[in-house]
C-alpha cells in the first residue's frame, strides 16, 4: 500500500502538495479548453437566498447581463465576484454569498448563479477545519485530476448519462468510465487511507480527492457515515464530492442507501453556496421518491425550493419543483407530467398552501 504523506515527511515532500483551489482552477481550465469557442457569453443569470429583496432590482443592479460576452479565467472570475459584490452591497447592504458559473445551457453558454444574503439564506453549519497529517499519494491525486478532465470533457459534450445501480456513478462515456473504474480499483486497495484523509487531513485538496474516491468504495455504513460527515466539511469541493457520491448511492436504492439521513441535505437547500443547493437537491430527490415521513422534513426548505424552482435552466430547477410537488401532496404522475412539459406553474401556485401547513 502507498505510504501516506505527512507534514513530517522528508525535506522536499511539500513540493508535491497541490496549492489551495488547485482542483477548482483545473476544472475551470479543462472546461474552457474543451469548449472555448462556445463559452464566450452569459446565457442566464439567476439568484438564490434573495427572499426580502426584489429580484428584478437585483438583476438591474449587477454589471452583467444575459447575452453579454464574457471570457472566464481564474483571474476574471475573481473580478466578476468583486464587481457583483460591490453592486449588491450598494443595494442590499451585503456582499454575495457565491457567484457561480455552471456549464452550460442548451446554447453552450454559461449559467450564472448569484447568492444573496436574504431571508432564505442560512449559513451552513460546518465542521471544524481538520488538522491531521494524513495525505493521499501523488498517484491518487493524479487519478483525481484525470477524472476532473474527463468529467469536464463529457459535460462539454453533453454526455452526462450514468449508471448508479451499483451505488456509485459509472459514466456511459467510455473514457470517463475507464477512469472511474480505476478510482474504484484504487480505493478498494486503499480504503483505510482514504477514510483517514477525508476525516482528518489538514489539506483541503487531499480531502476533496478523498471524498470523490470514497464514493467508489463498496457501499457500507462506515462509508455512508464518513461521507455524510463530509457534506459539512469547511471546503466547498469536499462537500460537493461527498454529496455527489451519496446522491449516486441514494439513486441506486441499494441497502446501504437506507442509512442516508435527509436532514443534512435539507439544511443545504438554504446554503449560500450553489453547489450545496444543487447537490442537496440531488440527494433529496432520491430520498423522497417513495414519499413517507421524510417528505415532511422538506418543509423548512420551502422558501429555497420556490426560489430554485424559478431558475431558468430546467436541468437545475426541475428537481426543486419535484420536491415542492411531493410536499404539496401531488401524485407522482402529475408532477412528472409538469416537469416533462417544462411547466410547473401549478406546483409553484401551491407554495403558499405548503407554507401554511
For residue 184, pLDDT over 90 is answered with yes
Question: How large is the average pLDDT for residues 40-58?
Answer: 96
Long-range own/partner contacts, residues 306-309 (CB < 8 A, 24 or more apart): 306/348, 306/351, 307/47, 307/48, 307/49, 307/50, 307/51, 307/120, 308/48, 308/269, 308/277, 308/281, 309/344, 309/347, 309/348
DSSP-derived 3-state class of residue 279: helix
Question: How large is the average pLDDT for residues 24-34?
Answer: 55
Instruction: Give the model's pLDDT for residue 3.
Output: 24
For 249-273, the pLDDT digits (tens) are: 999 999 999 999 999 999 999 999 9
Cα 129 to Cα 56, 200, 248, 323, 328, distances in angstroms: 38, 9, 26, 32, 39
For 211-227, the pLDDT digits (tens) are: 999 999 999 999 999 99
For residue 35, pLDDT over 70 is answered with no
Radius of gyration of the chain (CA): 20
Alpha helices for 93-235 (secondary structure H): 138-157, 174-200, 204-214, 221-230
For residue 38, pLDDT over 60 is answered with no
- At 27, the pLDDT band (50, 70, 90 cuts) reads low
Instruction: Give the model's pLDDT for residue 26.
Output: 56
Report the alpha-carbon distance of residue 177 to residue 24 in Å, rounded.
Answer: 21
Report the alpha-carbon distance of residue 134 to residue 136 in Å, rounded.
Answer: 7
> Which superfamily does 33-115 belong to?
membrane protein fhac (3.10.20.310)
Q: What is the pTM of this model?
A: 0.88
Contacts of 35 (CB under 8 A, 6+ apart): 103, 104, 108, 156
- At 7, the pLDDT band (50, 70, 90 cuts) reads very low
Question: How large is the average pLDDT for residues 279-304?
Answer: 94
349 compared with 287, residue with greater pLDDT: 287
Average pLDDT score, the chain: 88
Give start-end residues of each CATH 3.10.20.310 domain in the chain. 33-115
For 151-181, the pLDDT digits (tens) are: 888 887 878 899 999 999 999 999 999 999 9
Instruction: Give the model's pLDDT for residue 36.
Output: 45
* Cβ atoms of residues 257 and 249 within 8 Å: yes
Alpha helices for 253-301 (secondary structure H): 263-268, 274-287
Nine-digit cell string for 109: 453558454
* 52-61, 242-251, 301-310, 332-341: range with lowest mean pLDDT: 332-341
- At 6, the pLDDT band (50, 70, 90 cuts) reads very low
For 187-211, the pLDDT digits (tens) are: 999 999 999 999 999 999 999 999 9
Amino acid at each position: 500500500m502507498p505510504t501516506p504523506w505527512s507534514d513530517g515527511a522528508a525535506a522536499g515532500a511539500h513540493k508535491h502538495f497541490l496549492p489551495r483551489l488547485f482542483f477548482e482552477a483545473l476544472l475551470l481550465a479543462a472546461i474552457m479548453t474543451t469548449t472555448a469557442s462556445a463559452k464566450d457569453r452569459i446565457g442566464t443569470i439567476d439568484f438564490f437566498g434573495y427572499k426580502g429583496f426584489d429580484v428584478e432590482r437585483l438583476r438591474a443592479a449587477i454589471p452583467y447581463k444575459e447575452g453579454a460576452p464574457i471570457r472566464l479565467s481564474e483571474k476574471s472570475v475573481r473580478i466578476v465576484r468583486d464587481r457583483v459584490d460591490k453592486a449588491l452591497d450598494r443595494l442590499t447592504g451585503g456582499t454575495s454569498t457565491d457567484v457561480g458559473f455552471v456549464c452550460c445551457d442548451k446554447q453552450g453558454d454559461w449559467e450564472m448563479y448569484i447568492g444573496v444574503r436574504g431571508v432564505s439564506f442560512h449559513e451552513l453549519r460546518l465542521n471544524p477545519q481538520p488538522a491531521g497529517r494524513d495525505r493521499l499519494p501523488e498517484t491518487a491525486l493524479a487519478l483525481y485530476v484525470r477524472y476532473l478532465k474527463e468529467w469536464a470533457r463529457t459535460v462539454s459534450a453533453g454526455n452526462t448519462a450514468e449508471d448508479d445501480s451499483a451505488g456509485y456513478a459509472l459514466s456511459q462515456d467510455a473514457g470517463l468510465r475507464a477512469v472511474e473504474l480505476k478510482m474504484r480499483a484504487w480505493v478498494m486497495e486503499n480504503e483505510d487511507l482514504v477514510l483517514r484523509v477525508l476525516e482528518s487531513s489538514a489539506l483541503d485538496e487531499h480531502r476533496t480527492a478523498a471524498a470523490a474516491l470514497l464514493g467508489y468504495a463498496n457501499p457500507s455504513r462506515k462509508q455512508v457515515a464518513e461521507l455524510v460527515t463530509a457534506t459539512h466539511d469547511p471546503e466547498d469541493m469536499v462537500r460537493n464530492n461527498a454529496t455527489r457520491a451519496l446522491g449516486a448511492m441514494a439513486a441506486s436504492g441499494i441497502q446501504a442507501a437506507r442509512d442516508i439521513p435527509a436532514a443534512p441535505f435539507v439544511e443545504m437547500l438554504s446554503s449560500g453556496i450553489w453547489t450545496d443547493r444543487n447537490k442537496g437537491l440531488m440527494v433529496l430527490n432520491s430520498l423522497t421518491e417513495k414519499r413517507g415521513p421524510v417528505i415532511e422534513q422538506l418543509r423548512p426548505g420551502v422558501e429555497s425550493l420556490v426560489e430554485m424552482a424559478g431558475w431558468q435552466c430546467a436541468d437545475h430547477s426541475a428537481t426543486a419543483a419535484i420536491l415542492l410537488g411531493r410536499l404539496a401532496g401531488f401524485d407522482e404522475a402529475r408532477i412528472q407530467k409538469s416537469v416533462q412539459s417544462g411547466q410547473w406553474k401549478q406546483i409553484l401556485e401551491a407554495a403558499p398552501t405548503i407554507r401554511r401547513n
